[in-house]
Structure 1
Amino acid sequence: MNKIINTMSKFFKLVCFLLVGFSIQAQDAAKAKSLLDEVTTKVKTYENIVIEFKYALSNPKENINQESKGNVTLKNNLYNLNFMGVTKIFDGKKVYTIVPEDEEISISKYDENDDSAVTPSKMLTFFNSGYKYSWDILQNIKGRKIQYVKLIPISSKDQRKEILLGIDVQTKNIYNLIETGKNGTRTTLTVNSFKTNQPISKNHFTFTESKYPNYYINRLD
């Protein structure tokens, strides 16, 4: 009888431990989601956003180490991106990819119903669906408190293992994004400058073909 009582006691302790663990995980997930919601709400209050960033990619097994800088201007779903010598403009209807090195321009339509399409404007809100959330570490980076939220892709087909999103606790703006692939590739995007409501030209998101008289234009649609 004592053995049965002891066994039952251990069983109930284990159940209680698991329930507490699940409760903590649920609280962490809720806390993480709440912070992400604050980021999304804050982004929607800006008329426009101008970001300068650093991009780093590494894979020790493949001996790959790459770094580059870029900048992007966002207004609603419009964007003007300059990265690795290429300019990409979205005017609300079409995407223009300008490659000066090859003197070539590609023009394609944007399908707003294609949820898989990744655009610079989605980079600040991509986390709203398709992920499991958990509360991660808090770091002090150059006097700024950066709270990390871990995102785990729900789809088993996703080639990303996890994403760490660093959020400035005070401003509720994204500081960096650290993406780890299932193949060991690590990609880090760090925001060096985050400016909002800047005076920008009304033609900033407009492609003017006459500026590129000698370019080959590839109309994909």
Structure 2
Amino acid sequence: MGASEKSSSRPAMALPVLQAQRLYKQIAELLEQKIRSGAIAPRDYLPPERDLAQQMGVSRTSVREALIALEVKGLVTIRVGDGVQVCDPATVPPGPDLRAERSPIEQLDARCLIEGELAALAAKNATPEHIEKLERALETMRGSYPDSAAFLDADHAFHTAMGEASGNQVLIDQLEFLWALRYQATFQKFEEHYTNDPREQAAVLEDHRRIVDAIRGGDARQARAALHQHLKRVQKLFVK
């Protein structure tokens, strides 16, 4: 009997399914263990992001994403400009399973790649009807201001209209996938802390106006650049 036959005759071992984890999720798990074990007491403040990053040899961005994940689970309260206070884990119900969520920072990187090309293609392929739809979406955004939920829905409609103007259905499918991620809890918590501000909504409107103008002018390079500028500005707000 050969080695392959021997191995096939044995009962299969029960092995766990292993999942690759992003660094910020590993950091969140480590801090959660310390909070639940009592190593970090309720109502204590965690060290500043910079100190945590230095202690663990990671970036501040990864630490910030981890802290946001802990807040989504109810284990800390983030007070921007003040600090991160630990909640009593005994009073916190089981939090949401965040394993399927994706890094908000990586989402914005991916959107730059996909939507930048959608904007460039829209500048080449948009019809007058597409331009009119983009203008209507922009006007809806302006009318929903400063209602953050309505503004987000109108923002989604704007980017969808831009995708339709590109004429590339495969890229449009990727756009919709990325926008579904934007409605996940960690991304929305980032927005709550760092971009939920009327001044930011006004800046978004200006960004979108530049995108529409470039598409109307048929300038693919400028449309791509305007889209990149918009999303990179949002990303800087998340990690500043």
Q: TM-score, normalised by structure 2?
A: 0.21
Q: TM-score, normalised by structure 1?
A: 0.22
Q: Answer 1 or 2: which has greater strand percent.
A: 1
